[in-house]
Amino acid sequence: MKNNRVKKRDGFSSKFGVIAAAAGSAIGLGNIWRFPYVLGNNGGAAFLIIYLIAIVGIGIPVMLSEFSIGRMTQRNAFGAFKQLKPKSAWYLVGIMGILAAFLIMSFYSTVAGWTMEYLYQAITHQFQGQDTVSLDLHFKEFIASGTMPVIWQMIFILLTSLIVVMGIKNGIEKSTKILMPMLFVIIIILVIRSITLTGAGQGLRFLFTPDFSKITPMVILEAIGQAFFSLSIGMGVLITYGSYIQKDDNLIKSAVFISLSDTLIALLSGIAIFPAVFAFGIEPNSGPGLVFITLPNLFNQMPAGYIFSIFFFILLLIAALTSSISLLEVVVAFVTEQFHWKRKPVAFVLSFVFIITGLLSTLSLGSWSHIKVFGLNFFDLFDWTSANLLLPLGGLLIVIFTGWVLNRKALQKEILNGEEKRQWLFNVFMFSVKYISPVILFIMFLFGLGLFS
Ligand code: TRP
């Protein structure tokens, strides 16, 4: 067992490796595809404010909790709870996380498949000469068309498992160090093009001028859900990653760095999308297709748009991959560590299971669109319930565990690395995980459940 873990521990070659992996998990389709569409559905600036508050007030504390639990125990989410509280039901948090991984991967791989199709369309000059109406139509026809979306989805899932099998070492670290900054630069270029379009002002107002009357419990729920989704928290992914963080690394700094980068990319993507949305006369509440309809328009309107579109979709695909490997990794880590099975067969068998569950999401936008659960097709159901119910519930249990069950001294040692001078930070953290986060998450969870009855 010990050897086993030692072997795994050199999975990350440098100190930055695991932080890079966690940032790679956080930054993904959640920032560029989901954030703008959920913000658009929830009225814009008011949502943004709640989102930012949720990141700082709940998100960072949950992330720190997950990191601490992982580093303390050196285990996956399930094993960590088993070790800390052996004769209790806390391990169910780990099980829930595994369930969430299946739900998220199901629609995540659908959208990643769209990204691959759009990369292909970008390369083959297919956006050129299309206006908003035809881009919209083409998107809708494509996602409902069955075969290609399914094929892309399978390719994406197989790619994910291939990377997980080869080990996460070099791939993620490099992609985070080099490719994420490149993604950042391309988004900045998109931002510049977008805010200089005629009519851009309306989009910026939508994004930054809050109408506080738009803050409803639903908006709060969706903002918290998006914060959880975007930070990859609430299902123990970061417990697994935390187990790889070295003892002398500063957990607070790491959590703040990851959350800041993630939020910055989401914000920039909002600033790239919304001015264009309004300038091109697209409805801000168009749903999951929002970015896929808006961006090709924008590429059509910029110098060297062809090159930028290719770069953009390649980078988005890589960002999606570094996130999806974290989703597969939670399940792989669980199965390999708890049942002592080998990584390779586990990853491949799991990828077939993921393909089957993924089909539910993809086909629910086409030939299976008549199948509804709680009035939603599978895609929307998995998207909505994972972000707005499962992750916040996981987060709720994690903060209760951290605030009320974990040994306070041991926790303080993890978070402060034995340095006394940051005591106040620890106190702020404890206040959030003991009182603020549990209360808010509990209320929101009940509210979310109520929506189904
Ligand atoms: N955070 C990722 C994104 O924004 C999605 C994701 C990856 C995720 N792993 C996760 C979400 C674990 C929740 C939990 O694209």
Task: Indicate whether 2 pLDDT > 70.
Answer: no
Atom of ligand 1 nearest to the CA of 262: 4
Q: Choose the residue to mutate in 326, 385, 388, 389 for probing ligand 1, maximizing ligand atoms within 8 Å of C-beta.
A: 326
Atom of ligand 1 nearest to the CA of 319: 15
As a whole number of angstroms, the distance between CA 100 and CA 235 comes to: 7
| Ligand 1 pocket, CB under 6 A | 25-26, 28-31, 104, 229-230, 232, 235, 237, 323, 326-327, 391
Residue 338, CA distances (Å) to 77, 93, 115, 394, 433 in order: 11, 15, 34, 20, 29
Give the 3-state secondary structure of residue 1.
coil
Q: Grade residue 418 by pLDDT with cuts at 50, 70 and 90.
A: confident
CA atoms within 13 A on the CB side of 131: 4
- Average pLDDT score over residue span 78-106: 93
As a whole number of angstroms, the distance between CA 106 and CA 363 comes to: 11
CA atoms within 13 A on the CB side of 136: 11
Task: Indicate whether 281 pLDDT > 50.
Answer: yes
Query: What distance in angstroms lies between residue 21's CA and the mean position of ligand 1's atoms?
Result: 12
Query: What distance in angstroms lies between residue 319's CA and the mean position of ligand 1's atoms?
Result: 11
Q: Which residues of 257-279 are buried (b: 16+ CB within 10 A; e: fewer)?
A: ebbebbbebbbbbbbbbbbbbbb
As a whole number of angstroms, the distance between CA 255 and CA 65 comes to: 10
As a whole number of angstroms, the distance between CA 158 and CA 165 comes to: 10
Task: Indicate whether 4 pLDDT > 50.
Answer: no
**Mean pLDDT lowest among 4-8, 48-52, 197-201, 229-233:** 4-8
Name the residue among 172, 133, 170 with its Cα closest to residue 23.
172
Q: What is the pLDDT of residues 206-237, one digit of tens each?
A: 999 999 999 999 999 999 999 999 999 999 99
Query: What distance in angstroms lies between residue 231's CA and the mean position of ligand 1's atoms?
Result: 6
Query: What distance in angstroms lies between residue 259's CA and the mean position of ligand 1's atoms?
Result: 12
As a whole number of angstroms, the distance between CA 23 and CA 101 comes to: 17
CA 82, 84, 88, 92 torsion-angle sign: negative
Lookup result for tokens 């159901």: 381
Alpha helices in 364-450 (DSSP H): 378-385, 391-400, 408-416, 423-431, 437-450
- Average pLDDT score over residue span 370-399: 94
Q: What is the pLDDT of residues 15-67, one digit of tens each?
A: 778 888 899 999 999 999 999 999 999 999 999 999 999 999 999 999 999 99
Query: What distance in angstroms lies between residue 419's CA and the mean position of ligand 1's atoms?
Result: 31
Task: Indicate whether 453 pLDDT > 60.
Answer: no
The percentage of residues in the chain with a pLDDT greater than 90, rounded to a whole number, is 78
Q: Grade residue 178 by pLDDT with cuts at 50, 70 and 90.
A: confident
Atom 10, ligand 1: residue with shortest CA distance? 232
Query: What distance in angstroms lies between residue 320's CA and the mean position of ligand 1's atoms?
Result: 9
Query: What distance in angstroms lies between residue 128's CA and the mean position of ligand 1's atoms?
Result: 32
Q: Grade residue 421 by pLDDT with cuts at 50, 70 and 90.
A: confident
Atom 7, ligand 1: residue with shortest CA distance? 323
**Mean pLDDT lowest among 93-107, 266-280, 333-347:** 333-347
As a whole number of angstroms, the distance between CA 175 and CA 364 comes to: 32
| Average pLDDT value over all residues in the chain | 92
Atom of ligand 1 nearest to the CA of 97: 14
| Angle in degrees, CA 49, 54, 58, rounded to 5 | 160
3-state secondary structure 143-167: HHCCHHHHHHHHHHHHHHHHHHHHC
